[in-house]
Amino acid sequence: MHEVHATTLPNGLQVLIQESHAAPVATFWVWYRVGSRNEPSGYTGISHWVEHMLFKGTPAHPSGTLTRLIDRLGGRWNAFTWKDYTAYFEVMPVEHIGVAVRLEADRMQNTIFDPEVVANERTVIISEREGAENYPAYYLREEVEALAFKAHPYRQPVIGWKGDLRAITRDDLYHHYRTYYHPSNAIAVAVGDFDPGQVAALITEAFGPVAPGDPIPAVRAEEPEQEGERRVVLRRPGGATALLQMAFHVPRAGHPDLPALLVLDGILSGFKGVVPFDGGTGGRSSRLYRALVDGGLATEVGSGLTPSVDPTLFRIGATARSGVAAGALEAAVNREIARLHDEPADSAEMARVKRQAQAQFVYLRDGVFRRAMSLGMFEAVEWPQTTQALIESVEGVSSVEVTRVARTYLSDRRCTVGHYLPEDGPEGGVAEVVS
């Protein structure tokens, strides 16, 4: 694999470039260090809304022309917002990579926030929010996050609370854009079948003249240590079966315990990739699958964590089979957690999880898109390891370390438990929160 060329322009833009000659394509990304983590109370969802606005045009690329331009060149583009970052990307035939670079430099400075377009987009985003609310697992996740975090803005949903979405103004959006969208708060990533020096020159030419911007407001909120189990029971119409979600406080990206936590996750439900919104392996040989799905309690079960700038959550979730209570799922999960505390994984299980990890890391390097995503995400969450270093760290994790992190982090005092009970389901009682 070719080395990553890392530079920083005088205006503060971080630039990561890696050549890859498997196919005549290239991808260009710009990551901004802004997400729901950076949103003050009353403005939740504003980062995601600004993401939408960057597709509405600039004076040089009026609304409606951007997608046609990318399509005409045989490319694709999109974006996503998460708690720690907002990322924009294009995948193009390599000869058109310069178009992507110039387009992103233009959007960084010149996006139009037309009041009428803002009003139309409010309707779109509220509809998106209401669509998500139709899924019980989404609704329960919001409740669990809001209870697990008392002080830190990770408690806020990326899409925002509906009351805030109704109140945010065009000027609020534009102020957020001007505050966070500038070179000193951004990372440019290019991976593809090109000469790195030529692409570096394109990036410097397009982004070099952009003013660096002011320092971004610091996120000073620090989550106090959780001192005991918290619990929410949610009853709503919709959904045919009960759901369980459990969330445990774990360290931020870069913490030395993270590789062991990734292996622990692999033991519970199969090793996953570490890039945003990545899927898992299915984990049919994993402990949770065997105990809950093969055991006839659940139709699906999983676990995972997303490396983050600040301490985050390790999650376990399960969907009950018809007639099975959420409490039965919780009891089964707790038995598997107790096994992790008491019984070190044997050599065969550790070897199987590490083989899954190797497969995921090979997949991570397969193609320009995933390489660029991993490079940007690692930098955005201030994760000091390279992919190769992470591979080596995971390979070196011992069963003793897995037991230690299980005892340290998967404990009652660090846990928030959520039950979703269908309103017309068999379990009685009223919705309650215990903290």
- Residue 369 domain-assigned (yes or no): yes
Q: Can you give the pLDDT at residue 279?
A: 52
Q: Are residues 168 and 238 in the same domain?
A: no
Q: Is residue 217 part of a domain?
A: no
Q: Which residues of 332-355 are buried (b: 16+ CB within 10 A; e: fewer)?
A: bbbebbeebeeebbeeebbebbbe
Q: What is the pLDDT of residue 278?
A: 60
Q: How far is CA 289 from CA 112, 281, 421, in A?
A: 49, 12, 22
| 92 domain-assigned | yes
| Within-domain flag for 219 | no
**The dihedral sign for the CA sequence 33, 7, 16, 3:** negative
Whether residue 44 is found in the same domain as residue 180: yes
pLDDT band at 371 (very low <50, low <70, confident <90, very high): very high
Q: Does 67 map to a domain?
A: yes
| Domains contained in the chain, number | 2
433 pLDDT band, cuts 50/70/90, is very low
Please report, rounded to a whole number, the percentage of residues in the chain having pLDDT higher than 90: 85
pLDDT band, very low/low/confident/very high, at 249 (cuts 50, 70, 90):
very high
User: Are 184 and 258 in the same domain?
Assistant: no
Asked whether 435 and 418 are in contact (CB, 8 A), the reply is no
- Look at residue 262 and tell me if it is in a domain: yes
For residue 338, which amino acid is it?
A
Q: Give Cβ neighbours of residue 279 (< 8 Å, ≥ 6 apart).
A: 272, 273
The reply to whether 301 and 341 lie within a common domain is yes
One domain for residues 30 and 172: yes
Give domain status of residue 27, yes or no: yes
**Mean pLDDT across 169-182:** 98
Residue count of the chain: 435
The CA distance from 189 to 218, in Å, is: 24
Same-domain pairing of 130 and 174: yes
The pLDDT value given to residue 435 = 37
**8 Å CB contact between 257 and 163:** no
Mean pLDDT of the chain: 93
pLDDT band, residue 50 (cuts 50/70/90): very high
Q: For 264-274, what is each residue's pLDDT tens digit?
A: 999 999 998 78
Asked whether residue 225 is domain-assigned, the answer is no
Residue 360's pLDDT band (boundaries 50, 70, 90)? confident
pLDDT for residue 394 is more than 90: yes
pLDDT at 434 over 80: no
59 shares its domain with 131: yes
Q: Which domain holds residue 45?
A: 5-207
- Is the Cβ–Cβ distance between 160 and 51 less than 8 Å? no
pLDDT (mean) for 244-267: 96
Output the pTM of the full model.
0.94
d(CA 21, CA 1): 10
Contact criterion met (CB below 8 Å) for 301 and 292: yes
**1 — pLDDT class (breaks 50, 70, 90):** low
Q: What is the predicted pLDDT for the residue at 289? A: 96
Rounded distance between C-alpha atoms, residue 211 and residue 266, angstroms = 44
Tell me what percent of the residues of the chain surpass a pLDDT of 70.
95
Q: If 0-12 CB within 10 Å is exposed, 13-18 middle and 19+ buried, where does residue 138 land?
A: middle
Looking at the structure, do residues 264 and 383 belong to the same domain, yes or no? Answer: yes
Are 237 and 197 within one domain? no
Q: Can you tell me the distance from the alpha carbon of 29 to that of 189, in angstroms, rounded to the nearest whole number? A: 5
Nearest Cα to Cα of residue 83 among 124, 137, 39:
39
pLDDT of residue 206 exceeding 60, the answer is: yes
Cα–Cα distances in angstroms (integers) from residue 143 to residues 139, 217, 233, in the given order = 7, 27, 9
State the CATH number of the domain containing residue 280: 3.30.830.10
pLDDT digits (tens, 9 = 90+) for 259-300: 999 999 999 999 987 876 665 545 788 999 999 999 999 999
Report, as an integer, the average pLDDT of 389-401.
94
What Cα–Cα distance (Å) separates residue 134 from each residue in 238, 243, 336?
7, 14, 31
Query: Band of the pLDDT at 363, cuts 50, 70, 90?
Result: confident
> Whose structure tokens read 């996740």?
141
Residues 189 and 252 placed together within one structural domain of the fold: no
271, 156: one domain: no
* CB within 8 Å of 149: residues ≥ 6 apart: 155, 223
**Same domain flag for 197 and 240:** no
